[in-house]
Structure 1
Amino acid sequence: MHTYDDAGLEILDGPECLRLLSSVPVGRLVFTQGGLPVVRLVAFCVDGDTIVFASDDCEWLRAAHRGDVVAFEVDDIDLERRHGWTVTAIGHLSAVPEGEAAELAGTAPSWLRLRDRQLIRLGTESVSGRRAH
């Protein structure tokens, strides 16, 4: 049984959002820097219900150590056929501990350069999505 919002878009449930989230290699990290919103493209992988990405950016590392709340968005849109989907996850950042980071780096997709970089995790406390048919 599908549910739809007022605009006629299908409302996706949590498991479907996580499945779609893990189907693309790049997403948009939305965070605050200097009191202003910032959006950055990041390569990532999904580990259970968390999002993991690597960074050597000092601002992101400080945000992870503070546990900042951020948003993360992925999508797949086919403009020609006029359908697609979008998923947004919201949660707190954290630094991935060294031992766990080594394990993740060994199992992550080859396109994601996790080795010798600090790993940051976004715990997905809220995930939502919509699909246009």
Structure 2
Amino acid sequence: MLNALRYFWKEQPLALSAFLLAMAFLVFFGARFVLHFIYFHDPVHRNQALEPWMSPKYVGMSYQLPPEIIREVMQLDRFEGKRVTIKKVAEGLDISLEELERRVRNAQSKVKILRDQRGRKIFAPTQPHSRDGGR
């Protein structure tokens, strides 16, 4: 195999470099996808109580809400182009984290009803998780 690599490096260095770069991207993004898939399919990471450090994307993935719904509920248009945390969103809306969580859960209920009406399977657990991880 090393002989084949030496041959290709000698004869086609550009093609081999492009292939190795493509393989590196495949491994990186494949591993990233698998890790996110495993993380958000663990019931502990679903419907988590909102924490100040969370991002809107994290909340959307935890509550299985589409980005459009998260954008609407959190009114993210006012934060356009900024990396924002849930704490900053709550401060920008002049509400508490608990109120923001209530709004997110209400949106989740509405989305679940719409999905049920359309016959799509819902993966969300029925019980929310506490901030201390259920201990």
TM-score band by shorter chain is under 0.3
TM-score, normalization by structure 2: 0.25
TM-score, normalization by structure 1: 0.26
User: Relative CO higher for 1 or 2, CA cutoff 8 Å, sep ≥ 6?
Assistant: 1
Whose helix fraction is larger, Structure 1's or Structure 2's?
2
Rg larger for: 2
